[in-house]
């Protein structure tokens, strides 16, 4: 299955976790992929790096571009798409806004600096990157923008410590809806997807690993999450403005879950 052959994709937060897995699956299905994150070689505490992800992607034979950048930095955000376009040799057709920042603590003393950082990473960066790829997508008459959200965006979560993170993801969902409405008819699909509960990644293990070990039923497989992401990265034009859940989409569309290398 090579449904992305000849396509160029940009995946953020691709040094590890969902971003690295999505980038691999896109490459396995023929895409040329640009990956961006802060960690080029080695993180202080977490496994994974852009170099490691790139090495896996290169095995599939397509072009791979590394763009080292900090999405919290406005100047860095401005150069990501131009660098990706230059290194891949053409405009980005698929944008997967996966990178996110999460800090959990009570609202009563949540510092402004941290609140701004979360919204920079989770709201402003995805919109800035979307704005950067939209002109070429308009010219081509097609494009796919996919934002990764979270169940914490919904009300009645019962935890004040996740409120800022959840608020940022709720804002991202609202902006997804608005951008999809604005671009309807242009051929550009804009959607949002979230795991039903949690995907066991390096970051999740670091933040809520103990909870996941106590309640393994909260987990879904990386392959399930990726299957839903890549399905929306190739969806028809009328599928836009959706705020959906990975396992629900798999059930609704009858998707077969594949390995990251594209095999069943």
Residues annotated catalytic, as ranges = 165
Point out which residues pair with 96 in neighbouring strands: 11, 146
Cβ atoms of 131 and 82 closer than 8 Å: no
Question: C-alpha distances in angstroms, 145 versus 49, 169, 187, 235, 260?
Answer: 24, 16, 11, 11, 21
Cβ atoms of 126 and 172 closer than 8 Å: yes
CA dist 78 and 73 (Å) reads 9
CA dist 82 and 69 (Å) reads 12
């Amino acid at each position: 299955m090579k449904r992305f052959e000849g396509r160029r994709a940009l995946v953020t937060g691709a040094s590890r976790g969902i971003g690295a897995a999505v980038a691999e699956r896109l490459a396995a299905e023929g895409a040329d992929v640009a990956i961006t994150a802060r960690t080029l070689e080695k993180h202080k505490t977490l496994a994974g790096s852009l170099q490691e992800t790139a090495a896996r992607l290169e095995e599939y034979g397509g072009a791979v571009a590394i763009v080292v950048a900090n999405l919290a930095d406005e100047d860095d955000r401005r150069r990501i798409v131009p660098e990706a376009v230059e290194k891949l040799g053409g405009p980005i057709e698929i944008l997967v806004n996966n990178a996110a920042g999460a800090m959990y603590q009570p609202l009563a003393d949540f510092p402004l600096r941290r609140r701004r950082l979360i919204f920079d990473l989770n709201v402003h960066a995805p919109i800035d990157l979307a704005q950067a790829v939209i002109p070429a997508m308009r010219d081509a008459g097609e494009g796919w923008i996919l934002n990764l959200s979270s169940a914490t965006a919904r009300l009645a979560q019962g935890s004040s410590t996740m409120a800022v993170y959840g608020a940022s993801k709720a804002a991202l969902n609202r902006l997804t809806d608005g951008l999809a409405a604005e671009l309807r008819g242009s051929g550009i699909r804009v959607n949002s997807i979230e795991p039903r509960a949690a995907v066991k990644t390096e970051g999740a293990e670091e933040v809520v690993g103990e909870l996941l070990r106590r309640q393994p039923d909260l987990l879904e497989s990386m392959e399930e999450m990726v299957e839903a992401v890549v399905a929306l990265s190739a969806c028809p034009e009328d599928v836009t403005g959706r705020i959906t859940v990975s396992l629900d989409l798999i059930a609704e569309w009858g998707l077969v879950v594949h390995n990251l290398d594209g095999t069943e």
